[in-house]
Amino acid sequence: MHFAKVTDEIVVQVIVAENDFFDTFVDDTPGQWIQTSYNTRGGVHYGQDGQPDGGIALRKNFAGVGFTYDQVRDAFIPPKIFPSWTLNEDTCRWDPPIAYPSDGNNYRWNEDTQSWILLSE
């Protein structure tokens, strides 16, 4: 299992441990340990094959250092990458103002032009 150490709503550490680890583990630093699921992204649980498997999607996203833990949503939210992106309430991930192109090519977001830029092959 994975656990995230949350201090002032920010993830400061992520570890692998069993539940009973915390019975003997002494941590007197501020914050709390909250379970996170390595296989959860955008509110969906994925199996070993990378496909949705119907498992429990724990706290919307696998926690990472720098993520915010939103207690009301019970969700880990990644840092906002671009000012123009908005939080998707269902996935607790950031959505661009224009959807990523679905033509199979690779793009990067250009915040100045508010558009996707095709990466050269």
35-75 pLDDT, tens digit per residue, is 999 999 999 999 999 999 999 999 999 999 999 999 999 99
> What's this model's pTM, rounded to 2 decimal places?
0.87
Strands 115-118 and 107-110: antiparallel
Radius of gyration over alpha carbons of the chain, in Å?
17
